[in-house]
Structure formats: structure tokens, C-alpha cells
Structure 1
Amino acid sequence: MAGWQIKSRGTGRRGGYRGPDLSGPFESVGGLFMMSADAVKFLFRRPFQGKEMLEQSWFVARVSLVPTLLVAIPFTVLVSFTLNILLRELGAADLSGAGAAFGAITQVGPMVTVLIVAGSGATAMCADLGSRTIREEIDAMEVLGINPVQRLVTPRMVASGLVALLLNSLVCIIGVVGGYVFSVFVQNVNPGAFASGITLLTGINEVVISSIKALLFGLIAGLVACYRGLTVSGGPKSVGNAVNETVVYAFMALFVVNVVVTAVGVQLTAG
């Protein structure tokens, strides 16, 4: 590993990836970027842990599916309700379909995805790797000549990104269908006008940008979870702290990525 490695930190404390000889946040950020670079590199090196990737994909999907449904529906109702009130005041209630589709695909879908993947799937990954770290299983893997990044991090990163992409598609569908049901049957919007307005503001460009957001969200959440799990030091209490930090760090990173990708996507599709 280039410039960093998994090793003991002394006095019985087992660490994970240690970045450059810096202190505090800079060391953590450096270590995360180094681990991420290695994880991406091992995507193109054999053997790829396909079985591990499929198992982790099923695991993340299993713990994320129900929360996704429970969060997506209230988000959809809130967006449709607020938007329809505004459009009624402007005398443009027939455009509710355009607003519901645009909001669901460009914002609600990716944001619900980041909330669930980071809050449910990534924390479970962090707890699993953190438990392995304090039991010194990661050290044992290195002694046996097994690279933990190739064996554990890369498949989890791919699995998190894949599940996030699929969940985003599900949330977008729920958003459009839920917006239709709520607008037509609760707020008495004309169903034909709603359906005809769906593609008014939302096209293939918006769908692609939404998918890119979700994929990046999943990859970053998986990498943050793996990094914090492999850098746990101390006893079982530190695993709980790492899980809490995973949620905070993932949310911070993902909201920044959302702003950047949205701005870049708007500029690219402005024409």
C-alpha cells in the first residue's frame, strides 16, 4: 500500500488505515482518499470478489428497502402538497405533473437515497468492519497476505453504489406515482393535465444526472463506512462511535456532492 497501511497503534490499540504523518482531520481525510484510490484501483485487478459484492448488495438492499419506502412516500406527499398549493395560487394547477416529476427525479430521489444508504446500509457496514478490526481479524488477514482493501472495501464500495442506483430508480417511480395519486385524488388536479406535464421539465438529462448523483452517493457512503470501520481503535465502545461518525461524515460529504453535481449538471444541460 502506497504510504499507508493497516497496523497496530501500540498499547493494545488496533488501528486501521493511517494516512500521512499529519494530525487530526487532515490525517483522516488523507487516509480516506488513499484508501479510496486503492479501492478504485482494485476494481481492475483480479481476483475481483464478486461473491462478496453480491452478498453485500443483498445485505444493503435488505436493510434499506423498507426504510426507503417509508421515507419516500412522506417526502412525495410533502413536495406535491406544497407545490400544488403554490401552483393553485398562481393559476397553474395543470403544471403540477411537471413540478412533481422534476422534484422527485432531480432532488427527492437522490436525497432519500443518501439518507437511507448512509443511515442504514453504511452504518451496518461500518459496524461489521469495526467489529472485525477490534477482534484483530484485519491484522490476521494481512499476516496471511490478503489485502483488506481488495477483499473487503472494493466489493462493499461497488455494492453500496449499485444499491443506491437501484433505490434511486425506485424512489423516482414512487415520487411520480405518489404525486399523481395525491394530486389527482386528494387535491383534485386534472389527471390528463398531470400526466401530460410530467415530461415538460424532466427528460433524459435529468434522469442521467439523478442516476449519477445516486451512484456517487452510494460509492462515497460505502467508502466512508469502510474507512471508519477499519480505523477503529479501542474496544466495543469505539465501534459505536465510529458508526455515529459514519452517518455524520457521510451526510456532510454527500450534501456537498449533491450541490456540486447539481450545479455541474445544470450548466451542462442549460443549452
Structure 2
Amino acid sequence: MSVDPKTRPPRASAVRKAVQVAPTAVGAFYATSMETFRCMFKRPFHAREFVQQAWFIAGVSIMPALLMAIPFCMMFVYQINILLAEIGAVDLSGAGAGVAIIREIGPVVTVLVVAGAGSTAICADLGSRTIREEIDAMKVLGIDPIQRLVVPRVLASTLIGMFLNGLVSAVGLVGGYIATVYMQGASPGQYVTAISILTKLPDFLVSEVKAAVFGLLAGLVACHLGLNAKGGPKGVGDAVNQTVVFSFLLLFLANSVITTLALH
């Protein structure tokens, strides 16, 4: 029995529309990304805009990163130590903390902060410029908005992602020390010495690569959605919400891929 299109549930039509639009959206994002990479090697490079954006992203991200890293790492290391105590390997608590924090927790917290704070601000800024037709005005004047606005923001997001990852890793190890020594009574020397057992310099380098990729992807998503915002202030708000969702999806997917490649 056929179903009258007028009586079809609205959710079904919304899902069908999303499936139809998805390939076009992915293609548009790919085109924006390729144009951004191309413009990175063109002159002039707007260093002042880059510094301003890096300072802004750092300003809105540092405190949330610290406030997330300390309790998150403390509780994570606390649970690891409970498991190690069950098998009589408490002296390896520093090794477990170093591996978990440097390889995974640092980049993941960086994901949450960069995508949740920095990228949303970038998207809101570019979205506001788009609906006020400032982007169209730049094109009329012969100014490439990708080179003038997008490239400095994407590079700033990448740099601050790497900076935040190092900061979160250092603060996370301190939080793990507090949980291990002061909350569970382990030896301070054992914790500090054991960090280097499983964690080496290549692990930190992989972690920094993750953070750079995360910052790059978050910046690209924010800039693409901001430049394509439509529908007035409501459209900008929708673009900001989409930035958070799409950034998280891409960044966790990239985290899985990089981790798999690094372990092999």
C-alpha cells in the first residue's frame, strides 16, 4: 500500500534530505580545504592576523584546558592505580599515567577545548561577516577571503592545538602525581621514575602530531561553516552548533586513525 507523501512522517523526509545533501557538503568542505592549503604558500602572509587569532584562541582555551585536565587526569590515574593494585603492580602507576595522558588524554582534552571554545568563536566571527555581506564585499574588491581570513585562523588553531596539548600533558602528569601520591599513598619516586618506562620521546611527538591535525581540522571546519552561513543570526547559530558536532566527529576519527598507524 502506497503512502501519501503529504502524510509521510517529517523525520523520514528530513533524513532523506540529509542523505542527499551530505555528498555536496563533503565536496564543498574538501574544496575549501584544498583552497586553504593552496593559499598557505601564497604571498602575502597576514602575520598580524595570525598573531591576533592565535592570541585570541589561546585566551579562550587555556583556562578551560587546565580546568578539564587536572580533575580528568586525576580520576583517570586513580582508576588505573586501583587496577594496578589488584595485580600488585602499584610501582608502575607512573608508567600507566604517562602512556594514558601523553598518548591519549592530552590530545582528547585538546580536541574538546579547541573545538568547543576556539572553533566556535572562529565560526561565529566568519558567519557574522558572511551574513553582513562583508565576505562578498572583499571578493568584489579583489581580496581573497581564504587567504586573508581563513589561512591565519587555520594556522593559529593548529599552533594553539599543539601548545595546548603540551600544556595539558604536563598539567595532567601533575594531576596524576597528586592522585597517586596524596590520594593513594604511593611513593613519589616510584611515580616519577616509572613515567619513562613506557613513555618515550616518539610518543610525545605522535601526541603533538595528533594535536596539530586536530587543530587543523577544527579550524577548517569552523572556517568552512562560517563562510557558508545563511539565514541571518539563526543561520550563524546553526553553523556554530554544527561546528562543534562535525569537529568532534572528525577529530575522534582522526585520533583513531593516527593511533592505529602509530601503534603499527
- TM exceeding 0.5: yes
1:51-84 CA distance string (max 9 Å, x none): 1110000000000011101111111111111001
**Correspondence for 2:47 among 47, 50, 53:** 50
Amino acid at match of 2:186: V
Aligned AA (1:175): G
Q: What is residue 219 of structure 2 aligned with on the other side?
A: 222
Instruction: Choose the corresponding residue for 2:163, options 157, 162, 166.
Output: 166
Q: What is residue 91 of structure 1 aligned with on the other side?
A: 88
Per-residue Cα deviation, 1:91-113 (whole angstroms, up to 9, x for no partner): 00000000011111001100000
Displacement after TM superposition at 1:23 (Å): 5.0
- 1:126-165 alignment, distance < 5 Å: 126-165=123-162
1:266, 1:130 → 2: CA distance?
A: 39
Question: Which residue of 240, 247, 251 maps to 1:254?
Answer: 251
Structure 2 equivalent of residue 188 of structure 1 = 185
Q: Corresponding residue for 1:60?
A: 57
C-alpha distance in 2 between matches for 1:233 and 1:193: 57
Is 1:27 the counterpart of 2:24? The answer is yes
Give the conservation status (yes or no) of the 8 Å contact 1:97–1:193.
Answer: yes
CA distance in 1, matches of 2:76, 2:263: 21
CA–CA distance in structure 2, aligned partners of residues 49 and 26 of structure 1 = 33
TM-score, with length taken from structure 2: 0.92
Gaps of 5+ in 1: 1-21
Aligned position for 1:209? 206
Deviates more, 1:213-222 or 1:23-32: 23-32
Cα distance per residue 1:175-201 (max 9 Å; x no partner): 111111221111011111111100111
Q: CA RMSD in A?
A: 1.0
Task: Return 104-113 or 31-40, whichever deviates more.
Answer: 31-40
SS in 1 for 2:95: helix
Tell me the amino acid that sits aligned with residue 40 of structure 1: F
State whether residues 75 and 179 of structure 2, in contact with CA within 8 Å, keep that contact through their aligned partners in structure 1.
no
Task: Tell me the TM-score normalized by structure 1.
Answer: 0.89
* CA–CA separation in structure 2 for the residues paired with 1:23 and 1:231: 18
| Equivalence for 1:244 | 241
Aligned partner of 1:19 in structure 2 is none
Q: Does the aligned pair in 2 maintain the 1:53–1:156 contact within 8 Å? A: yes
Q: Percent identity?
A: 51
- Judge conservation of contact 1:42–1:48 (CA < 8 Å) in 2: no
Question: Whole-Å Cα distance in 2 between the matches of residues 138 and 186 of structure 1?
Answer: 54
Partner residue in 1 for 2:104: 107
Q: Deviations over 1:229-254 (max 9, x none)?
A: 00111111110010000000000000
8 Å Cα contact 1:229-1:242 kept in structure 2: yes
Find the residue that maps to 2:77 and give its secondary structure.
Answer: helix
Q: How many residues in Structure 1 have an aligned counterpart in Structure 2? A: 246
